[in-house]
Amino acid sequence: MFYAGIDAGSFTTKAVVLHNEELVGFIVMPTGTGGSGVARRALEEVLVLISGVRTAR
Amino acid sequence: MIRLNGAGKVVDFVMNDKCAAGMGRFLEVMARALEVDLRELGRLSGETLEAASISNMCTVFAESEVVSLVAMGRPREEIILGLHESVAERVSNMAWRLDVEPAVTMTGGVAKNTGVVRCIEARLGLEMHIPPEPQIIGIKSWTAL
């Protein structure tokens, strides 16, 4: 089973993807001023990183 | 800084009460002032044993201090070691307040700076556990739950 987690911090936003508790990919990006958009973007970027497939927007 | 009991429950914690002092942002600003890559700070500070004295805790004032030291011809390695010592001093004072004892784990981006890690370990007289990816350890643990 795959799980994704997002840590929306004030300065950086992190997204991780685990497969059976094993880390398969992560990304750390500046939160900036984009509000919740950055969380979506972090998740999208980390999915690109692990699969090369973009999520539907 | 969080103190846990044997069952992994939070017993006590202290937070940095001196603005950006001692935070990763402090080191980011200083790296930029020294025109050094943030990731190089640890390695560079390991090349000297002589630490420049940094007396300002405030990130803005400490930045001017760093610029002055550069202008006076102080080697950047010594300035960086001084910055690491200043961060480590603040962090270890917080650790004493929590009666720090092994095992100690350091998380967050600053844990990737081997220079800061060395300075804190020397002050506390113990070795810290550094997770492989200290920036994402919090969210990784929560996602695994």
Q: Which CATH number goes with the domain that contains B95?
A: 3.30.420.40
* Interface residue A5 vs chain B (CB under 8 A): yes
For B75-134, the pLDDT digits (tens) are 999 999 999 999 999 999 999 999 999 999 999 999 999 999 999 999 999 999 999 999
Q: How confident is the model at residue A56 (pLDDT cuts 50, 70, 90)?
A: very low
Q: Could you tell me which residue, A56 or B64, shows the higher pLDDT?
A: B64
Answer whether residue A50 shows pLDDT above 60.
Answer: yes
CA distance to partner chain B, nearest, from residue A5 (Å) = 5
pLDDT of residue B117: 97
The answer to the question of residue B126 being in a domain is: yes
With a pLDDT cut of 70, the percent of chain B lying above it is 97
What ipTM was predicted for this assembly? 0.70
* Interface residue A24 vs chain B (CB under 8 A): no
The answer to the question of residue B9 being in a domain is: no
The answer to the question of residue B102 being in a domain is: yes
* Contact across the interface for B140 and A18, Cβ inside 8 Å: yes
Q: Could you tell me which residue, B112 or B56, shows the higher pLDDT?
A: B112
- SS3 string of chain B? CEEECCCCCEEEECCCCCCCCCCHHHHHHHHHHCCCCHHHHHHHHCCCCCCCCCCCCCHHHHHHHHHHHHHCCCCHHHHHHHHHHHHHHHHHHHHHHCCCCCCEECCCHHHHCHHHHHHHHHHHCCCEECCCCCCCHHHHHHHHC
pLDDT of residue B102: 93
The answer to the question of residue B140 being in a domain is: yes
B136 contacts in A (CB within 8 Å)?
7, 14, 16, 26, 28
Q: Span A16-39, mean pLDDT? A: 89
Q: Span B27-56, mean pLDDT? A: 95
What is the distance between the alpha carbons of residues B114 and B107, in angstroms, rounded to a whole number?
Answer: 13
The residue range of the domain holding B73 is 19-144
* Interface residue A16 vs chain B (CB under 8 A): yes
Q: How many domains does chain B have?
A: 1
Interface with chain A: mutation pick from B136, B142, B145, highest number of A CBs within 10 Å: B136
Answer whether residue B31 shows pLDDT above 70.
Answer: yes
Interface with chain A: mutation pick from B140, B141, B145, highest number of A CBs within 10 Å: B140
